[in-house]
Amino acid sequence: MSPVWFVIIAGVSALIAAPVTRAAGRFAGPLLALVPAFLFVSLLMQLPDLPVGTAILQSIEWVPAYGVSLGFRLDGFSLLFSLLITGIGTLVVIYAGSYFSDDAKDRGRFLGFILLFMTAMLGTVLADDLIMLFIFWEMTSLVSFFLIGFKHEDAKARKAALQSLVVTAGGGLALLGGIIILGLTAGTFSLTEITAQAPQIATSPAFPAIIVLVLIGCFTKSAQFPFHFWLPNAMAAPTPASAYLHSATMVKLGVYLLARFDTGFGEYLIFYAPLMIFGGITMLISAYAVMRSTGFKAVLAWSTVCSLATLVLLVGVPGEAGVKAMIGFLVAHALYKAALFFAAGQVIHSTHQYELARLGGLRFKLPITAIASLLAAISMAGVPFFLGYKAKDLFLTAAFDGGSWGMWLTVVALASSAVMTAVAGLAALKPFFLKPPYGEVKLYHNEYYGMALPPLALGLLGLAIGVMPAPAWNSVLIPAMSALYGSTIALEVHAAPSLGLKFLITLALLASGAALVWFWNRLYRDPDNVKANVVFADLGYGAVMGWLDRAGQVTARLLQMLSLRTYIAVTLGVSTLALLLALTGFSADMISAAAAEPVRPYMAVVLVLTLIGAAVAAFARSVLISILGVGIVGYTMAVVFLLNGAPDVAFTQFTVETLSIVILLAVLLRLSLKPAPQQSLLKRPLALAVSAGFGIAVGLGVLAMSVLPFDRRLSDFFGEASYLEAQGHNVVNVILVDFRALDTLGEIAVVAFATLCVWALLRRRVKKEG
């Protein structure tokens, strides 16, 4: 199956989610989950066609004039991401169907959003054209906004959704700027070709701007300092969205794009140094914040920020060690963190309790969830014979091989690993195996199998890969590493841990994590301190948004005069200045062109009539007379078209002008309008100057256009293509209904809406009179 079909099938499933949910009811989750499951199996079937170091490329022309195409690329790395998206997506859809089992109204809407998000994610990771990648990238931000704010009646959810959209979409604009500059510099938007031209692009003066803009876009999406605050707030979303968007897939988009750019630009200091610095800072901040958080999902959210920072930092590590560690940690984190979020959702759904500190003793009430949570937490802690252990082992190897950054890497690696071990212990032990501090936790319903089995499947998968690592590593993970590194990577993976320094460090980290769990009650005791909660950055966001709001109010007071005449005068004045500035170099040529123009008497008559109509419109006291004056100007324009070989345009002008006058007169005769206040004597010279200046500028512009050589390329194209391609003899009609069909449709819509408005006004007036 070609890559484009994966995106198309996912998109169709999002469109049919609502009707399928209405028809299938509670079975909608498992039924719709067949789509991502089918895509997952289809992707696995692509493995034989993707030997290490190869890729399936597909390109469909989209905007060839600008070098933009629907380019798709399926290689080891995009295949790995696609498998995570569809595999975890299958479990999320099943989980969501059960999560909303008592809420039929919201079930279909939520499943539609989840499948639409899966479409956007697949489109992003399979895109080879950067413009197409950006479109899907922004689509994930938009769908994420709807999912975070799904409980739209909740003010907290609305605020979090708006915050995520402002941050990620703002970063998206920076990314778009970087993509455009990069495409213009490289002469292509193909990511494959850009990577191949990396040494030449790096010599361009625009290279620093490209890197800075791309880093801003990636940092906002993956919640890196100073944009790290939006992700914990996004936990206002329903738990299935948190598990899918904000742990397993979407927030890793920034990491995905950074890794793609690292293939070509990873050796340049301007690229990898910010990754090491900001990734390390984010790790330390989030490690502090996670130990000061009390909410179940908040603890997991801050640990996700720390994990994303780990991935960003590993992208910056040079050589094979960084690639191996990044891929290993990427997969391990996706499995255990999605499982833990699933488990948290089951606990919150069953107990209606969000605070981790108030939970305990649920292992017998929610037994499957307890086992799943324990398996995921063991993998997260890095215990041998689990996937998480191998990921931590590769992480420590990368830290020790970090070259000049080795000390920085080692410090942040050890600090964050100890905290992540503690989070694993808190997520598994506190709700299920420790004694509840405030008495027995009330259970509102038993665990739903649709919510308990998905985390169990992920927990068992992490154990299976740890015990039997060869199939997964050799068929999926190592090809992904090789695709990023640019050449074949060799890696021997064994189930049993190898004794040595790294094993001893792992044991020490497990012990330190256990100590942090023991002292956790003392650490979170003052939750107000956490409102450095978002460790300064959330406060900064609020300050910036407040400043923008105040700046908007000041700007509105200065510019919103509530006077249509003022707005028109400003618009015409600025336009006049812009035209005159643009025409500074045409003076001599325009004079000679005007002198060479032959005198046509009939045009003099038309000019006189035009002047008369303009004078009547400007100086008439009656609105009706002014409309008639404007109509005279319109009719004389139609005569100009007619006398210059454009009878069809003249006929259109006659028709439009007649209809405009009739409609306006009909409205004015039925509506009682107060006469406009007369302008003061002081303002009349200013109005005259603006009007005269605008007229002179437009006249000079027309003369300037007559001086320029006429470019016949469009005329020749339409003349040739109108009959051969559109089968039409009238070129103007063919342009309107074929080449400019959408524009014409828009114009018709505008006229139709205006007609409806006029009809409504007249109808209302008739009713009042009746």
Mean pLDDT over 67-88 rounds to: 89
Cα 454 to Cα 171, 239, 324, 336: the distances in Å are 33, 13, 27, 11
**3-state class (DSSP) for residue 40:** helix
Check pLDDT > 70 for residue 439: yes
Residue 638 sits at φ, ψ, to 5 deg, of -65, -40
Any idea where the domains of the chain sit in the sequence?
1-222, 266-525, 533-560, 566-674+681-708
Check pLDDT > 50 for residue 367: yes
DSSP one-letter string for 475-520: IIIHHHHHHHHSS-------SSPPPSHHHHHHHHHHHHHHHHHHTH
Local confidence band at 528 (pLDDT 50, 70, 90 cut-offs): very low
Check pLDDT > 60 for residue 419: yes
| Highest mean pLDDT pick, 64-68, 358-362, 407-411, 601-605 | 358-362
Q: For residue 731, give both structure tokens.
A: 């070129």
The pLDDT score that the predictor gives to residue 228 is 86
**3-state class (DSSP) for residue 87:** helix
Q: What is the 3-state secondary structure (H, E, C) of 368-431?
A: HHHHHHHHHHHHHHCCCCCHHHHHHHHHHHHHHCCHHHHHHHHHHHHHHHHHHHHHHHHHHHHH
Mean pLDDT over 683-702 rounds to: 81
Lowest mean pLDDT among 7-16, 324-333, 396-405, 675-684: 675-684
For residues 591 and 661, give the distance between their C-alpha atoms in angstroms, rounded to a whole number: 37
Whether residue 372 contacts residue 343, with contact meaning beta carbons closer than 8 Å, is answered with yes
Q: Which residue has the higher pLDDT, 599 or 169?
A: 169
Local confidence band at 459 (pLDDT 50, 70, 90 cut-offs): very high
For residues 420 and 380, give the distance between their C-alpha atoms in angstroms, rounded to a whole number: 7
Cα 37 to Cα 548, 655, 716: the distances in Å are 45, 59, 53
- The DSSP secondary-structure symbol of 626 reads H
For residues 330 and 255, give the distance between their C-alpha atoms in angstroms, rounded to a whole number: 9
User: What's the N-to-C CA distance of the chain in angstroms?
Assistant: 68
Lowest mean pLDDT among 61-75, 441-455, 575-589: 575-589
Which residues 6+ apart lie within 8 Å of 121 measured at CB? 81, 85, 136, 140, 249, 250, 253
Check pLDDT > 70 for residue 9: yes
Check pLDDT > 60 for residue 691: yes
Burial of 762: CB neighbours in 10 Å, binned 0-12, 13-18, 19+: middle
Residues of the chain above pLDDT 70, percent: 91
Q: Which residue has the higher pLDDT, 585 or 17?
A: 17
The pLDDT score that the predictor gives to residue 118 is 93
The pLDDT score that the predictor gives to residue 527 is 47
Mean pLDDT over 496-523 rounds to: 77
- This prediction has a pTM of 0.79
Q: In 3-state terms, the chain is what percent helix, strand and coil (to 5)? A: 80, 5, 20
The pLDDT score that the predictor gives to residue 206 is 93
Local confidence band at 82 (pLDDT 50, 70, 90 cut-offs): very high
Whether residue 128 contacts residue 98, with contact meaning beta carbons closer than 8 Å, is answered with no
The pLDDT score that the predictor gives to residue 437 is 78
Residue with tokens 């524009």: 743
Burial of 412: CB neighbours in 10 Å, binned 0-12, 13-18, 19+: buried
For residues 306 and 284, give the distance between their C-alpha atoms in angstroms, rounded to a whole number: 8
Q: Which residue has the higher pLDDT, 642 or 500?
A: 642
When computed from its CA atoms, the radius of gyration of the chain, rounded to whole angstroms, is 33
The pLDDT score that the predictor gives to residue 626 is 84
For residues 42 and 37, give the distance between their C-alpha atoms in angstroms, rounded to a whole number: 9
Whether residue 252 contacts residue 330, with contact meaning beta carbons closer than 8 Å, is answered with yes
The DSSP bridge pattern shows strands 55-63 and 68-75 to be antiparallel
Q: For residue 370, give both structure tokens.
A: 């307890």
Peptide bond into 497 cis (omega under 30): no
Closest of 95, 154, 148 to residue 117, by C-alpha: 148
Residue 129 sits at φ, ψ, to 5 deg, of -90, 130
For residues 187 and 169, give the distance between their C-alpha atoms in angstroms, rounded to a whole number: 26
Mean pLDDT over 355-365 rounds to: 85
For residues 251 and 220, give the distance between their C-alpha atoms in angstroms, rounded to a whole number: 9
Mean pLDDT over 369-391 rounds to: 90
Residue with tokens 């307890």: 370
Local confidence band at 529 (pLDDT 50, 70, 90 cut-offs): very low
For residues 250 and 252, give the distance between their C-alpha atoms in angstroms, rounded to a whole number: 5
**3-state class (DSSP) for residue 63:** strand
For residues 16 and 111, give the distance between their C-alpha atoms in angstroms, rounded to a whole number: 10
Q: For residue 172, give both structure tokens.
A: 């998206």
To 10 degrees, what angle do helices 253-265 and 207-221 make? 150
Check pLDDT > 50 for residue 531: no
Q: For residue 141, give both structure tokens.
A: 């931000």
Model confidence pLDDT, tens digit, residues 532-562: 445 555 667 778 888 888 888 888 887 777 7
For residues 418 and 590, give the distance between their C-alpha atoms in angstroms, rounded to a whole number: 77
Q: Which residue has the higher pLDDT, 266 or 664?
A: 266
Local confidence band at 682 (pLDDT 50, 70, 90 cut-offs): low
Exposure letters 733-756 (e unless 16+ CB within 10 A, then b): ebbbebbeeeeeeeeeeeeeeeee
Local confidence band at 492 (pLDDT 50, 70, 90 cut-offs): confident
The pLDDT mean for the chain works out to 84
Closest of 93, 31, 111, 101 to residue 454, by C-alpha: 93
**3-state class (DSSP) for residue 330:** helix
Q: Which residue has the higher pLDDT, 154 or 181?
A: 181
Q: What length is written for the chain?
A: 770
Q: Which residue has the higher pLDDT, 37 or 642?
A: 37
For residues 740 and 747, give the distance between their C-alpha atoms in angstroms, rounded to a whole number: 11
Q: Which residue has the higher pLDDT, 396 or 671?
A: 396
Residues of the chain above pLDDT 90, percent: 25
541: number of CA atoms within 13 Å, CB side? 25
Mean pLDDT over 190-218 rounds to: 92
For residues 705 and 15, give the distance between their C-alpha atoms in angstroms, rounded to a whole number: 50
Check pLDDT > 70 for residue 762: no
